């Protein structure tokens, strides 16, 4: 922490921790997105950010948000199911930034009809789509980012959820995708560790976002989390964001291949 670090109740915690560091954030859709919360935390600590958005539909929203950041932020269109999009993003990022020190992956998708009822009824198409967008994308993006991350060493952070290891009603195929994502985090950490590229996950408790509202019964999920969590409340985006900031920063230099739970102590409870 630097001498300029400040924290008051009304103001966000700011410092120069990430001054001179650059990174790419994927998964901002709107102001409620976890990716946007993380971006604000990273920017509050001096980082310079670039962003992707999923198609023209979201461009305006992402443009308006990123215009509020202290540094100009390049924006690139990217549908992660499209290899050409991924190649183009990293070509432009190389031109704009030259190197990056972190990559933040906040992307997941499953068809609405797969997020209700029985997991046994998951369609082959629905399975492929959820896995492609939510798990394979981390491999494809990390591979494309490797030349930029290895220049100074770097950190990849992906967002995940407890539905990877426990049965959460209606999370269904997304639980399988998150299990794949978390396994991918460990294999990528092993592949890239010698290049000083770390790969970790943040497992967040439920937060009301666009993606979360696609899960049938999400409000009940929020209530049951609040009732059971050791802290007796649900997590705030800023708390998830600060953990991602820690993992993206040199403060976590000895941590790789791990999942950190930011769930107000829900996972530790037996009942
Ligand atoms: N909200 C929660 O309760 C919660 C809890 C734990 C983990 N997470 C994870 O956090 C991450 C961010 O989700 P969020 O809750 O902030 O919701 P969100 O809807 O704000 O973000 C999801 C993002 O995924 C992007 N996306 C989906 N398909 C894509 C594709 N084909 N190509 C490119 N981008 C695509 C969307 O554009 C969007 O920006 C996800 O990985 C989610 O699983 C969310």
Structural contact between residues 156 and 145, judged by C-beta atoms closer than 8 angstroms: yes
* Cα dihedral across residues 251, 255, 257, 263: positive or negative: negative
What six digits make up the tokens of 232? 């007796």
Ligand 1 atom closest to Cα of 181? 41
Point out the least confidently predicted range of 141-155, 186-200, 209-223, 251-265.
209-223
Neighbouring-strand partners of residue 156: 103, 199
Distance 4 CA to ligand 1 centre (A): 33
Alpha helices in the chain (DSSP H): 34-44, 56-66, 83-97, 124-131, 137-149, 172-192, 218-228, 237-248
Sorting pLDDT into bands at 50, 70 and 90, what band is 12? confident
pLDDT surpassing 90 at residue 2: no
pLDDT surpassing 60 at residue 109: yes
Structural domains in the chain, sorted by start:
22-262 (3.40.50.720)
Q: Supply the pLDDT for residue 10.
A: 56
Cite the active site residues.
161, 171
CA gap 158, 163 in Å, rounded: 15
Altogether, the residues listed in the chain come to a count of 271
pLDDT surpassing 80 at residue 169: yes
Structural contact between residues 238 and 41, judged by C-beta atoms closer than 8 angstroms: yes
Q: Which tens digit of pLDDT belongs to each residue from 57-66?
A: 999 999 999 9
Q: Supply the pLDDT for residue 271.
A: 84
Neighbouring-strand partners of residue 262: 204
For a pocket test of ligand 1, which of 34, 40, 161 has the largest count of ligand atoms closer than 8 A to its C-beta? 34
Structural contact between residues 86 and 80, judged by C-beta atoms closer than 8 angstroms: yes
CA gap 172, 4 in Å, rounded: 46
Q: Supply the pLDDT for residue 13.
A: 87
Q: What is the mean pLDDT of the chain?
A: 95
Q: Which tens digit of pLDDT belongs to each residue from 31-81?
A: 999 999 999 999 999 999 999 999 999 999 999 999 999 999 999 999 999
- As separate numbers, helices (DSSP H) first and strands (DSSP E) second, the chain gives 8, 7
Task: Confirm or reject: Cβ of 89 under 6 Å from ligand 1.
Answer: no
Q: What percent of the chain clears pLDDT 90, i.e. is strictly above it?
A: 93
CA gap 227, 225 in Å, rounded: 5
Task: Confirm or reject: Cβ of 46 under 6 Å from ligand 1.
Answer: no
Q: What percent of the chain clears pLDDT 70, i.e. is strictly above it?
A: 96
pLDDT surpassing 70 at residue 6: no
């Amino acid at each position: 922490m630097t001498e300029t670090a400040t924290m008051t109740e009304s103001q966000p915690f700011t410092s120069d921790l990430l001054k001179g560091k650059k990174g790419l954030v994927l998964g901002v859709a709107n102001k409620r997105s976890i990716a946007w919360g993380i971006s604000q935390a990273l920017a509050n600590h001096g980082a310079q950010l670039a962003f992707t958005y999923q198609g023209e539909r979201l461009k305006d929203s992402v443009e308006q948000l990123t215009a509020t950041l202290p540094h100009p932020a390049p924006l690139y269109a990217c549908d992660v199911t499209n290899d050409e999009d991924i190649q183009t993003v990293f070509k432009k990022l190389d031109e704009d930034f030259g190197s990056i020190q972190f990559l933040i992956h906040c992307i997941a998708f499953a068809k609405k009809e797969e997020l209700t009822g029985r997991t046994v009824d998951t369609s082959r198409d629905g399975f492929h789509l959820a896995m492609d967008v939510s798990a394979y994308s981390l491999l494809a993006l990390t591979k494309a980012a490797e030349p930029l991350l290895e220049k100074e060493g770097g950190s990849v952070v992906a967002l995940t959820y407890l539905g990877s290891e426990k049965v959460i009603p209606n999370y269904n195929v997304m639980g399988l995708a998150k299990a794949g994502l978390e396994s991918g985090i460990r294999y990528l950490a092993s592949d890239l560790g010698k290049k000083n590229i770390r790969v970790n996950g943040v497992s967040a408790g439920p937060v009301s976002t666009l993606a979360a509202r696609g899960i049938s019964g999400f409000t009940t999920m929020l209530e049951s989390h609040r009732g059971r969590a050791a802290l007796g409340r649900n997590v705030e985006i800023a708390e998830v964001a600060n953990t991602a900031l820690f993992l993206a920063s040199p403060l976590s230099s000895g941590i790789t291949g791990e999942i950190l739970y930011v769930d107000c102590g829900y996972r530790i409870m037996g009942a």
